[in-house]
Structure 1
Amino acid sequence: MEGGGAGTTLSEVYQNAKKLQLKIRDGLERLERLESSTSAGAAASPEFSYEIKKDISHLHSLCVDMDRLWRSVAVKSQRDLWRRKVEQVAEEADSLKESLDKYFMRNQRRMQEAKERAELLGRANGESSYVLRIFDDEAQAMQSAHSSSRMLEEAYSTGVAILGKFAEQRESMKSAQRKLLDILNTVGLSNSVLRLIERRNRVDTWIKYAGMLLTFIVLMMMWRWKH
């Protein structure tokens, strides 16, 4: 039986991931066509590339969900099969992200070259300040997108590593729980012994004081009898 969370099965998440893969792949192909169409690519690609970046982020999120779900499959043969499928989807997601990152780098390089050309023209006619401001804004936006993509990759890697550690340490946690119960039982026994010792000490103290009082009374009676 396949694992699932919040009413979503591993098969459903896998199918959603495959559909999203096709959408991203088609988007990247369209982006490359726009990129090769000179001015049309420069005008249309930024907004569209950001949409593809969001889809890749969603795909990585689905990979994290699947990495958690395949570990709960009961039958080992099915679990191994799902593990290979999830690994393939994750590898494809990394490949798609790499393709988009390369596009961002090419686009940023083109904008830098265009900025340099505008600066050269500005020295000649002094009318390129508006163009330079546009390229500065675009360059900053592309740099921000690249940084966000890198942060997402790091978060994904961290999530997968944490899930792997949870799976590896499951037996260790059970053993620690048993040891903790043994310690608690030992502490409970020690507390009982301590309470018994405290009661015994209180009884001994009362016996000591009673003996001292009795001795004092006997001595007083003997002294009066002699006098």
Structure 2
Amino acid sequence: MSALEGGGGGTLSEIYQSARRQLLRTRDGLEKLERLEYTAASGMDSPELSFSIKKDITQIQSLCVEMDRLWRSIAAKSQRDLWKRKVEQVAEEADSMKQSLDKYFLRNQKRMMEAKERAELLGRASGDSAHILRIFDDEAQAMNSVRNSSRMLEEASATGEAILFKYSEQRDRLKRAQRKALDVLNTVGLSNSVLKLIERRHRVDNWIKYAGMILTIVVVFFFVRWVR
């Protein structure tokens, strides 16, 4: 028997071509299996196709074992090295496809377990589903109310800060005006009684200013309490 002929019939070249054809068929089958898995809404299983792919991969691996035995019997080293690379390439592709198929089986098993768990959970919770939905609705409404209250509090706080800032600006302007007035009065030499009258008026203005600030703070405080 020639070194390029196998014990089961067929030369090394014929076995190699048969393995290549099966590789192409297996690759097409894997691609179809993945399309079925990812295009379906919940992942569609095809037992017949996956079993056929597994069978083809097993047959390819058997052919690789036969080809591995045959290329070692080739006398010419150059031809032997060439066939070694070819056979190794086929074996690597077959192993890669087997790993892809194994991963598919694991994903499919995981989907089946998750579907079973969901069915069990839905079965246990079927009587309480309406109650659970009501709880979710109440929680959502409560969260919206909290967000609205928080926004109103922020707006009230910003308004109060703006009012206090305006009072502070007015106080500074009054101080500057008082200093200028005192400078002018001192320059023209007005009497001490007039200066004392101005000072009393300044104190009254300060009382009015502080009373207004306190009133504003009280109003903002009660507004915040009302919002809550």
Q: Secondary structure at the match of 1:4?
A: coil
- Which residue number corresponds to residue 60 of structure 2? 59
- Which residue number corresponds to residue 218 of structure 2? none
- Which residue number corresponds to residue 26 of structure 2? 24
Query: Structure 2: which amino acid aligns with 1:119?
Result: E
Query: Which residues of structure 1 form unaligned runs of 5+?
Result: 127-227
- Which residue number corresponds to residue 14 of structure 1? 16
How big is the shift at 1:41?
Answer: 4.7
Number of paired residues?
125
Query: Structure 1: which amino acid aligns with 2:13?
Result: S
CA distance 1:40–1:13, change in 2 (3 Å): farther
Q: Secondary structure at the match of 2:72?
A: helix
2:33 maps to 1:38: no
- Which residue number corresponds to residue 216 of structure 1? none
What is the CA–CA distance in structure 2 between the aligned matches of 1:2 and 1:10, rounded to whole Å? 8
TM-score by length of 2: 0.52
1:18-56 CA-to-partner distances (Å, cap 9, x unmatched) read 0000000000000010001225852x5222111111111
Percent identity of the aligned residues?
Answer: 69
2:63 maps to 1:75: no
What is the CA–CA distance in structure 2 between the aligned matches of 1:40 and 1:15, rounded to whole Å? 38
2:95 maps to 1:94: yes
After TM superposition, which residue ranges in structure 1, 4 or more long, deviate above 4 angstroms?
none
What is the CA–CA distance in structure 2 between the aligned matches of 1:112 and 1:25, rounded to whole Å? 27
Query: Which residues of structure 2 form unaligned runs of 5+?
Result: 128-228
Q: Secondary structure at the match of 1:36?
A: helix
Asked if the contact 2:4–2:13 (Cα under 8 Å) also holds between the matched residues in 1, the reply is no
Q: Secondary structure at the match of 2:22?
A: helix
- Which residue number corresponds to residue 114 of structure 2? 113
Asked if the contact 1:67–1:83 (Cα under 8 Å) also holds between the matched residues in 2, the reply is yes
How big is the shift at 1:2?
Answer: 4.6
Asked if the contact 2:4–2:12 (Cα under 8 Å) also holds between the matched residues in 1, the reply is yes
Query: Structure 2: which amino acid aligns with 1:74?
Result: A
How big is the shift at 1:73?
Answer: 0.9
2:5 maps to 1:4: yes
Asked if the contact 1:34–1:40 (Cα under 8 Å) also holds between the matched residues in 2, the reply is no
Alignment RMSD, CA only? 1.8
What is the CA–CA distance in structure 2 between the aligned matches of 1:11 and 1:21, rounded to whole Å? 15
What is the CA–CA distance in structure 2 between the aligned matches of 1:106 and 1:31, rounded to whole Å? 12
Query: Structure 2: which amino acid aligns with 1:81?
Result: L
TM-score by length of 1: 0.52
1:71-115 CA-to-partner distances (Å, cap 9, x unmatched) read 111111101110111011111110000110111111111111101
1:154-180 CA-to-partner distances (Å, cap 9, x unmatched) read xxxxxxxxxxxxxxxxxxxxxxxxxxx
